[in-house]
Structures are given as C-alpha cells and as structure tokens.
C-alpha cells in the first residue's frame, strides 16, 4: 500500500508542470490549424484556389519538419526549457508577420516561419514529460499532454467564428500570436526549472536510428495518424462548404462541436493505452478511423453530420499509445532525436502532402474521393503493427 501511494504521488506531483506544458502545446497546435476554419474567408479574399489553400498547410509542414530536423541540435546547445520558451515566442512573432504580408509569396514565407517556430516545441516537450514521469505512467502523462490538440480542434473554429464577428481574419491571427508570446514569457518566468539537454545529434546516432525497422514503421503509422486528425481537419471545412454546400458558420460549428466528445475520450486515452496496450489501441483506432474517413466521402445528404461527429472519436487515442511505444524504442538521451525524426517525416506527409493532395483532388471535383483513398490507407496500415515489438523501459 505504501509503495502504491508513493507511485501515485510521484505522478500527481508533476500534474502542474504537465498541465503548463499542455497549455503551451494547445497554443502551439492552435497556431498551426487556425487557418482551417478561416480558409472559406481567405480563399475569396486572396483570390486563390483549393490547391493553393492546401498548399498553405504544406508550407507550415515543411517549416515544421525543418525545425524538427534541427531541434536536436538546438536543445543540445541550450536546454529543453529554453527551447520551449523560444518556440512559443517565435510562433507568436511568426503569426504577427503573416498579418503584415502584402503578397501570396510573403504569406507563404510567413507560414514556413510559423512551422519552423512551432516545430521546436514537441521534441523538447515530450522529452520533458517522459523525464519527469515514470515509464508505467507515460500513457497517462502523454494523454494529458495530448488534450492540447483536442482542445485546439474544438476551439479553433469557435474562436475564429467568434473573433470574425468583429475582426478580419488577420485580426484573428494577431490574437492567437499574442497568446503564444504571453505563454512563452510565462514559461520563461514560471516554468519547470529542469534545464537538462539532449545529446547532440551526430552521424552515428542518426544512422543507427534510421536503420531501425521499428522507426520506419512508426513513421508510417504516425503519418496516417496525423493525416486522420490534422490532415482531415485542415480540409474538412473547405470540403463541407464547397462540395457539400454547408454554410460556413454551420460547418465550423459542427466541426468544433464534434471535437467535444473527443476531449472526454482524450482524458481516458492514456489509461486505455496503459490497460489495453499500445499496439491494440493503435489497431482499433486505425480500423475505426479508416471506416469513418471512407464514409465522409460516400455517405449521402445530411447523414454526413453523424460521420463528422464519429470520425474523430478515436483519433485522440492514437497519439498517447503511439508516443508511448515510440519513446520505449530508444534510451532517454536519444528520445528527443527519435521523436524529432519520426514526427519530421510523419508531419510532412500527414499534415503537408496529404492535405495538399486532397486540395488538388478538390480542384478537379474529387474532394470526396480523397477521403475514400485516405480511409483505405488507414485501414490497410493495421498490418504493419504485426511487425512491432513492444519493449519495456
């Protein structure tokens, strides 16, 4: 009984730092997806096509991937605490920069910078969490941290619709940017005092990582997991408005409200992963998401409202399980590097190439087919989990 109490105390004693990081991650994630509910306004304002709109997310993902590639070097020179602070402040400044852009090229450069600033956070944030919490509690700790994307998915359309009642779309970006800067300053003043750094990436540990079969399997799974959440979310408002003829305000409201049940599931996602095991959790999520994503493309009429609510239901369970499994394949000093490279490739594909491809299909009148194709890949990827061997830390 004494041991159990001490274990529980060791987890709950770190609830404050975990929640602080979760708040920063929420703003970080919100900054990257806030364009999605704004696209129906941005497209006619800038006179751009669906393909060019999808290209916005490509620019963010390229910048994000570039930052992930260099984040290991930065966190090894500074510390994870300093890296998190820099990421948040730079994200806010990048959003400010976009609002002052006068051409499509300048906006794209701003989005690239936004991705680079935001991309510095995740490896340092994940490494900090797994450093302060015992391995057996990783699922729960990561699940709390993963509340941030769910909250961002809920709040992005609601915040954008609320602010656009009195502000232009650039004003919305200024508000989010101000929040990011304030969060970075707050973390610098009141955040965790742990100042540990990662080992500096070198040819040896990078080549060792890239030579692991498990790394590449997890990269593919992460790509599809990100596509099923961020990728679909990025293009869904445009799809509903342009191809399903749903009014913009209603579409954004439906998408925001559909994420509320997801938030409740996110709270228990870590416990599900710890109980059922990461592999089983990932399999169930991929199958369910595959079916629901296909239905987004083929279900007729108003029945699509039901699928809008069902599709994201289990997406949130993927990431605590996947990050827990990913973090267990490497020693602590290489964890930041492993997360960096996995998310680097996965985010570039799942939040970049796939939304851009969906936008291109939308231009030729095949928006619905893009959801069917993605759903097929999600379901088929379950076979890859057979080749993963869970390890203990």
Q: Is the pLDDT of residue 8 over 70?
A: no
For the chain, domains (ranges, CATH) are 13-193+208-387 (1.20.1250.20)
Give the C-alpha separation, 91 to 97, whole Å: 10
Residues in the chain: 393
- The secondary structure of residue 236, as a DSSP letter, is H
pLDDT tens-digit readout, 24-44:
999 999 999 999 889 888 888
Q: Which bin fits 300, alpha (ψ -120 to 50), beta or left (φ > 0)? A: beta
Give the C-alpha separation, 73 to 307, whole Å: 43
Give the C-alpha separation, 72 to 20, whole Å: 22
- Among 10-14, 72-76, 322-326, where is mean pLDDT lowest? 10-14
Q: Is the pLDDT of residue 150 over 70?
A: yes
Contacts with 138 (C-beta within 8 Å, 6 or more apart), sequence order: 129, 130, 270, 323, 324, 327
Question: In the structure, what pLDDT confidence band is assigned to residue 211 with cuts at 50, 70 and 90?
Answer: confident
What pTM, to 2 d.p., does this model score? 0.73
Question: In the structure, what pLDDT confidence band is assigned to residue 6 with cuts at 50, 70 and 90?
Answer: very low
Q: Find the mean pLDDT for residues 323-330.
A: 75
Tokens 């083929």 correspond to: 298
- The token pair that represents 4 in the structure block: 């159990």
Contacts with 345 (C-beta within 8 Å, 6 or more apart), sequence order: 65, 219, 222, 223
Give the C-alpha separation, 172 to 157, whole Å: 11
Give the Å distances, CA to CA, from 239 to 54, 72, 326, 380, 393.
Answer: 11, 37, 33, 24, 43
Q: Which of 249, 263, 384, 242 is closest to 325 using CA atoms? A: 384
- Give the dihedral sign, CA 164/169/175/179: positive
């Amino acid at each position: 009984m004494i041991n159990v109490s001490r274990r529980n105390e060791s987890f709950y004693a770190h609830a404050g730092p975990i929640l602080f990081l979760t708040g920063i991650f929420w703003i970080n994630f919100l900054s990257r997806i806030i364009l999605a509910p704004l696209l129906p306004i941005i497209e006619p304002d800038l006179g751009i096509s669906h393909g060019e709109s999808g290209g916005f997310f490509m620019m963010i993902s390229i910048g994000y991937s570039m930052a992930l590639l260099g984040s290991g070097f930065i966190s090894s020179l500074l510390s994870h605490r300093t890296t998190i602070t820099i990421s948040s402040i730079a994200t806010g400044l990048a959003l400010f920069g976009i609002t002052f852009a006068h051409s499509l090229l300048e906006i794209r450069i701003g989005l690239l910078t936004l991705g680079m600033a935001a991309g510095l956070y995740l490896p340092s944030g994940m490494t900090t969490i797994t450093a302060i919490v015992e391995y057996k509690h990783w699922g729960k700790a990561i699940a709390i941290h993963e509340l941030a994307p769910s909250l961002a998915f809920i709040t992005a359309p609601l915040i954008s619709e609320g602010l656009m009642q009195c502000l232009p779309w650039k004003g919305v970006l200024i508000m989010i940017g101000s929040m990011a800067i304030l969060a970075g300053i707050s973390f610098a003043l009141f955040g965790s005092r742990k100042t540990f750094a990662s080992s500096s990436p070198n040819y040896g540990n990078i080549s060792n990582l890239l030579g692991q079969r498990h790394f590449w399997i997890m990269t593919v799974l992460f790509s599809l997991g990100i596509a099923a959440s961020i990728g679909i979310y990025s293009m869904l408002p445009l799809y509903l408005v342009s191809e399903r003829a749903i009014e913009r305000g209603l579409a954004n409201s439906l998408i925001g409200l559909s994420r509320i049940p997801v938030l409740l599931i996110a709270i228990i996602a870590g416990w599900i992963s710890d109980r059922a095991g990461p592999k089983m959790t990932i399999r169930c999520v991929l199958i369910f998401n595959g079916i629901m994503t296909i239905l987004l493309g083929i279900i007729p009429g108003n029945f699509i409202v039901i699928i809008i609510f069902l599709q994201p239901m289990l997406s949130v369970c993927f990431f605590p399980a996947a990050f827990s499994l990913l973090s267990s394949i490497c020693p602590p000093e290489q964890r930041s590097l492993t997360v960096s490279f996995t998310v680097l490739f996965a985010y570039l594909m799942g939040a970049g190439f796939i939304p851009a491809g969906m936008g291109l299909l939308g231009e030729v009148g095949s928006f619905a087919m893009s959801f069917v194709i993605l759903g097929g890949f999600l379901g088929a990827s379950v076979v890859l989990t057979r080749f993963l061997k869970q390890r203990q830390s």
